[in-house]
Structure 1
């Protein structure tokens, strides 16, 4: 558990439209969560961030950003990209488990407590923000 669970925090990591940025985001997220005492959420959070950021980089032109925030026992992970079009609705995980592509939002839906998207402009560019939430569980 975090040392002071009641104190909210937030990080933004702006990235270029480059698939190598997915690895940078994943490693940065691991460091952030470890430093905040949320090591129990790292593996699932990395999976979710990887899917969100990969979608942002793969399907949109221009820059993207990873946002990670903590408030009242909820970790929110999101990716902003410069494409204002809504994401494709996630398919059923059972149907796409063998697919090479198209699993991202199905994994996000299956592994998070809640997910969604909204239009969001950053730096004068229209775009969207796709996010998901993980809730912390009490220490055993």
Structure 2
């Protein structure tokens, strides 16, 4: 049975494509240990897209943040050093044949909510691109 207490984890990563796998596996462990195994597959897909974009499109470090809110929502965010907003997501039908370019479309299709916000939380100006999944 899932816990109802809020929690918050942050994994700081270098700008290295291998960090995406580390984030995905870490997220799986976090959700499993908190009794949210039913969210793992979708959460991994979303985190992979968010972290991949952070690593691919910026030059600095990045971070994966995952938390459960007091309202039972699982929030997944990728922070990067570029303060510019992400490009608007393409509908999956338009992005299906493209190499890359599907990430935010998948996030829009699979998450309950998504968005982005500027952030200087990690001493560098940048942004969080985030999404939410209902844990109930």
Cα deviation per residue 1:85-134 (whole Å; 9 max; x = unaligned)? 11000011111112111000000000000000000013321100000000
Structure 1 equivalent of residue 119 of structure 2: 120
Query: For this pair of structures, how many residues does the alignment match?
Result: 135
Rate the CA distance shift 1:123–1:73 in 2: closer, same or farther, 3 A. Answer: closer
Structure 2 equivalent of residue 135 of structure 1: 134
- Gaps spanning 5+ residues in structure 1: where? none
Give, in whole Å, the separation in 2 of the partners of 1:43 and 1:81. Answer: 23
Pick one of 27, 30, 35 that aligns with 1:29. Answer: 27
Instruction: Calculate the aligned-residue CA RMSD, in Å.
Output: 0.9
Pick one of 57, 62, 65 that aligns with 1:64. Answer: 62
Give, in whole Å, the separation in 2 of the partners of 1:30 and 1:42. Answer: 6
Structure 2 equivalent of residue 75 of structure 1: 74
| Residue 108, structure 1, aligned to residue 107, structure 2 | yes
Which shifted more, 70-79 or 43-52?
70-79
Q: Is the CA contact (8 Å cut-off) linking 2:50 and 2:78 kept in structure 1?
A: yes
Structure 1 ranges of 4+ moved more than 6 A:
none
TM normalised by structure 1 equals 0.94
Structure 1 equivalent of residue 90 of structure 2: 91
- Gaps spanning 5+ residues in structure 2: where? none
